[in-house]
Chains A and B, each alone.
Chain A
Amino acid sequence: MHINTGDTAWILASTALVLLMTPGLALFYGGMVRAKNVLGMIMQNFAAIGVVSLVWVWVTYSLAFGPDWGGHGLIGTFHFFGLANIEGNPPGYSLTIPHVLFMAFQMMFAIITPALITGASADRLKFGAFILFITVWSVIVYAPVAHWVFDPNGWLFKRGAEDFAGGTVVHINAGVAGLAVALVVGRRKGWPKKAMPPHNVPMILLGAGLLWFGWFGFNAGSALGANLLASNAFVNTNTAAAAAMLAWLLVEKLKDGKPTTLGAASGAVAGLVAITPACGYVNVVGATLIGLAAGALCALAVRLKYLVKLDDALDVGGVHFIGGVIGALLIGFFGTKAIGGVNGVFHGGGFGLLGKQALAVAVVAAYSFIVSWLLAMAIHKTIGFRISEEQEEEGMDTTLHAETAYEFSPSFGSGR
């Protein structure tokens, strides 16, 4: 294999950019919860960095991108266990970057995906049970889904389903898993009657800004090189985020009377989610329309939880599942060979691609929901997945972590 230093430099930078998205997500989510739970929320996201970093280098990278087990395209083998045998290319790739860097870049995706789940189940998970959940989930949900969709030997990849940077693998996957966990652990005490407004909106916007920034690594980095495709993905990413932000604000203005800053942040994230699978396959027309659709539809979708009484606390379903579905399906319409991949409906490609996209969406959503639900249920029925009522009342920060996020009183008692 030939290592290109320009490509390598860009993917090194992209890898670091994608890592930053998880602390960004921690602030995005942390600002949205109540002050008594902000550290509990941030902790779950940082813990995902710790857990998945180790699980990935030892086990799940090999399961996701290792040589296919039995040729069915379902799961990799343990060939790359503990980063053994990772000289040369991963099977099916001809990289211009070191294999170990490809592994590290993919690791950051594996980290943020379970971190995204935490928004749905906010304010009520036991910390140890959460650690157990994301460890097992990384093995039995993330690794196989990444293998099916991202790995050139995966069965959905081979069928021609397109997912440039993780619309199905990351966002649909995390979105439905979040809904499954929220369903298993139940609603927060008092929801939806009791008001649970965000405690720090500027923190949410800071988090959204870091997500937007890191997303350039996520999407443009997924070109795996410093080239035209990466540049197109970069521009599409920014265009869709901008369009979605404005669309979300317009829906708020029309429905609620005032555009909100939380809506601006949410809209931008919805657009980033939707363009994730599409950013290497569509042109600027596609990116603009995907962004507008995601912003408007996600702004409406986040209201559905009140109808079905499912406490998806921070709208992981409404933003990541719905946004991911919008992006994955619209590739079937806006995909164009001129950027990458194959032509969709609007570029004379017929409905073939749309069918493959719909299959990938349906399969990943169904698999992730069922397995996540079973895993969450198994934990809930054995060691318990939910904190006690008293802990929930007092807040996770003091009861789970013995800390307070904001100390305003000058008298602190006596130390050791």
Chain B
Amino acid sequence: MKLIVAVIKPFKLDAVKDALTEVGLHGITVSEVQGFGRQKGHTEVYRGAEYQVDFIPKVRIELVVPDDRVAEATDKIVESARTDKIGDGKIWVLPVEEAIRIRTGERGDDAL
């Protein structure tokens, strides 16, 4: 099992969710986060005073998938979250030791 973490533009959340459910990848966890990468924030102007806003709002998606579906899942996220503009975000993948469905006690791939 692998944990896929994707940080994407907030308005792309629906597109990513639809793309994943279309191929039968159900169950994602979403959180609102802030951060910056190469995009380095943006500028806001209030009464002529410029403010550099370093941390940009992003959405962080987490899902755990069986090893053989990692490539498919990440491809779907890349496809659906891409705008070709700076700030589209990043995906990283981590190994997962165990997964347990709380209701039934199922473990491993069965719990996903």
Contact = CB atoms under 8 A, between A and B. Distances in A.
Contacts of B48: 252, 255-256, 299, 302-303
A390 B53 CA distance: 24
Interface in B44-66: 44-53
A260 B51 contact: no
B52 A260 contact: no
Nearest to B48: A303
Interface of A is mostly: loop
B78 to A, nearest CB: 32
Interface of B: 44-53
Interface of A: 192, 195, 197-198, 252, 255-258, 260, 262-263, 266, 299, 302-303, 306, 315
A315 B51 contact: no
10 contacts: A192-B49, A195-B51, A195-B52, A197-B51, A197-B53, A252-B45, A255-B48, A262-B46, A262-B47, A315-B47
Contacts of A302: 47-48
A255 B45 CA distance: 11
Contacts of A195: 51-53
Nearest to B50: A256
Given A257-B45, A262-B46, 18 more contacts: A195-B51, A195-B52, A195-B53, A197-B46, A197-B51, A252-B45, A252-B48, A255-B48, A256-B45, A260-B45, A260-B46, A263-B47, A266-B47, A302-B47, A302-B48, A303-B47, A303-B48, A306-B49
Interface of B is mostly: strand
Contact of B44 (A197, A252, A257, A299): A197
Pairs A-B, 9 closest by C-beta atoms: A195-B51, A303-B48, A302-B47, A256-B45, A197-B51, A197-B46, A262-B46, A198-B46, A197-B44
B24 to A, nearest CB: 32
A222 to B, nearest CB: 29
Contacts of B51: 195, 197
Contacts of B44: 197
Contacts of A315: 47
A260 B48 CA distance: 10
Nearest to A318: B47
A197 B44 CA distance: 9
A255 B53 CA distance: 20
Of A255, A256, A263, the most chain B CB neighbours within 10 A belong to A256
Nearest to B54: A195
A299 B47 CA distance: 7
A392 B66 CA distance: 50
Contacts of B45: 252, 256-258, 260
B38 to A, nearest CB: 21
Contacts of B46: 197-198, 260, 262
Contacts of B49: 192, 303, 306
A120 to B, nearest CB: 14
Of B44, B47, B52, B53, the most chain A CB neighbours within 10 A belong to B47
A192 B47 CA distance: 14
Contacts of A306: 49
Contacts of A197: 44, 46, 51, 53
A255 B49 CA distance: 11
B109 to A, nearest CB: 33
B93 to A, nearest CB: 31
A302 B46 CA distance: 10
A260 B45 CA distance: 8
